[in-house]
Structure formats: structure tokens, C-alpha cells
Amino acid sequence: GAVVSQHPSRVICKSGTSVKIECRSLDFQATTMFWYRQFPKQSLMLMATSNEGSKATYEQGVEKDKFLINHASLTLSTLTVTSAHPEDSSFYICSVPLANGGNGYTFGSGTRLTVV
Amino acid sequence: AQSVTQPDIHITVSEGASLELRCNYSYGATPYLFWYVQSPGQGLQLLLKYFSGDTLVQGIKGFEAEFKRSQSSFNLRKPSVHWSDAAEYFCAVGAKAAGNKLTFGGGTRVLVKP
């Protein structure tokens, strides 16, 4: 149980285009999802907290107009990288806290974004 | 705000030798503590977690970790390393009072010599 499906696993896009990444909870409801970014050989940095039915909460330094988050249902959160640039190339991964973190967290398998 | 420090960026260990990865956290109360492993280009795999109770936690793949409140530490250990243990290891801290955000340490890359 508690499986999170993240798609796509890899995407290559041209500079200036937008890319949508989906994170879907398959067998449970997720009112909160977290989005992380990981640059090569670095740690995971929290970008934003996605809240079902309300606006996402962004971490300091993360551009909300560039990284659009939509959490329209209890099972789906999307991250859209708008007007992507090569510096946005990174590994993006979503995470869902289980029982408010009391049962740990489950992670998507991640999306490798390459902007050319 | 919570924070996590992994002092060792790289560790090289011989196969069969013991391994200890250090993790120190900063948080006002007892947080949830986790160790994850990540192979190159892959997602995260949970090794073990600590919420409360017994301070020595057993995980998968023969790993264990000990929570020491007095030292704000949660070090990961394995008695005998296998070549397949070569990977990146992340310590993480979460707390309900912090909105359940999970904060990661910088990671420790483990290299295993034959």
C-alpha cells in the first residue's frame, strides 16, 4: 500500500517550453504532497508543499510563477515547470507524508528533466 | 527550523568492513528521523526510521541506527559492508509541528573497495 506514481520518469524539452510532472497516490488519499528538486551530486531541496484544494506553499527562493503546483484532487498533484531553461534541468521528486508523517513518507520514483 | 547535518561527504570502506554514517539534527523536540539510500539515477529507498521508543532501530539490508537525544544524533551503522551498499545515503528529519516537511542532510557517498 501507500504507493505514489510519478510521471514521466524522464523528459527532455526545449528551452522556453513548459513541462508538467504528475504525482499520483494510487491507493490512498493525499491532502499534502511535497515537491523536491535534486541537482546532480547534491541533496534534495524542498521546493513547495502542495495542499489539496488550496494554494501551494513555496519555500524561500522558489519562484511560484515558474514552478506551478496544482493539487486539484486528493490523489493528484502536478508540478509544471514553465518557460524551462537549462538551469532547470534537475531531478524532481514528490513525497507524501503518511498519517501526517507519523507513518513515514512515501516517495515517487522521480522525474529527470533535461532542458536543451 | 529543523536542520540536518551529515559531516562526511564521502566515505570509502573495504568490503566486509564496518560502516558508520554520521547524522546530527537540530530541532526543538524529538522529530521523526529517517535514513534513505539512493543509487545513481534512482529514487529513494527507506532504510529505517525512528519515531519513538527503543532508541536502537533495525532496518533493511542489515542496517541499524541509534538515536541519541543528548547528542542530537542518529548515526547509521552496518557491521559488514557489501559491494552493493555503494550508494548515496541521506539522513532526514520531519516533524508534525513543522508541517510534516521532511528536511534532508547533504548526503554521504559511500564507496566500497573490493
Half-sphere exposure of A85 (CA within 13 A, CB side): 3
Do A101 and B102 make contact, defined as CB atoms within 8 angstroms?
yes
For residue B49, list chain A residues with Cβ-Cβ distance below 8 A. Answer: 104
Residue B49: other Cβ atoms inside 10 A: 20
A62 lies within 8 A of chain B by CB: no
Q: Is A104 in Cβ contact with B105 (below 8 Å)?
A: no
* B61 contacts B36 by C-beta, under 8 angstroms: no
**How many CB contacts within 8 angstroms connect chain A with chain B?**
54
What local confidence, expressed as pLDDT, does residue B27 receive? 84
The answer to whether the CB atoms of B32 and A107 lie below 8 A apart is no
Name residue B88's beta-bridge partners. B38, B109
B100 and B2 in contact (C-beta within 8 Å)?
Answer: no
The predicted structure's pLDDT at residue A100 = 62
Q: What is the 3-state secondary structure (H, E, C) of chain B?
A: CCEEECCCCEEEEECCCCEEECCEEECCCCCEEEEEEECCCCCEEEEEEECCCCCEEECHHHCEEEEEHHHCEEEEEECCCCHHHCEEEEEEEECHHHCCCEEECCCEEEEEEC
Stretch 9-48 of chain A: residues touching chain B, C-beta under 8 Å:
32, 34, 36, 41-46
pLDDT tens, position by position, A3-56? 899 999 999 999 999 999 999 999 888 889 999 999 988 899 999 999 988 899
pLDDT for the residue A18: 97
pLDDT digits (tens, 9 = 90+) for A82-115: 999 999 999 999 999 887 666 688 899 999 999 9
Would you state the pLDDT for residue A41?
84
Cell of B46: 527507506
Residue B71: the pLDDT is 94
Closest residue in A to B4 (Cα) is: A43
Query: pLDDT 10s per residue in chain B (114 long)?
Result: 788 999 999 999 999 999 999 999 998 777 889 999 998 878 889 999 998 889 999 999 999 999 999 999 999 999 999 999 999 999 999 877 777 788 999 999 999 999
Give the residue numbers in B contacting A (CB under 8 Å), as ranges. 32, 34, 41-44, 46, 49, 51, 90, 94-96, 99-107, 109
Predicted pLDDT of residue B41? 79
Q: Which of B49, B51, B104 sits opposite A44 (nearest CB)?
A: B104
| B101/A49 Cβ within 8 A | yes
Residue-level pLDDT at B100 = 79
Measured CA to CA, the distance from residue A56 to residue B53 in angstroms comes to 34
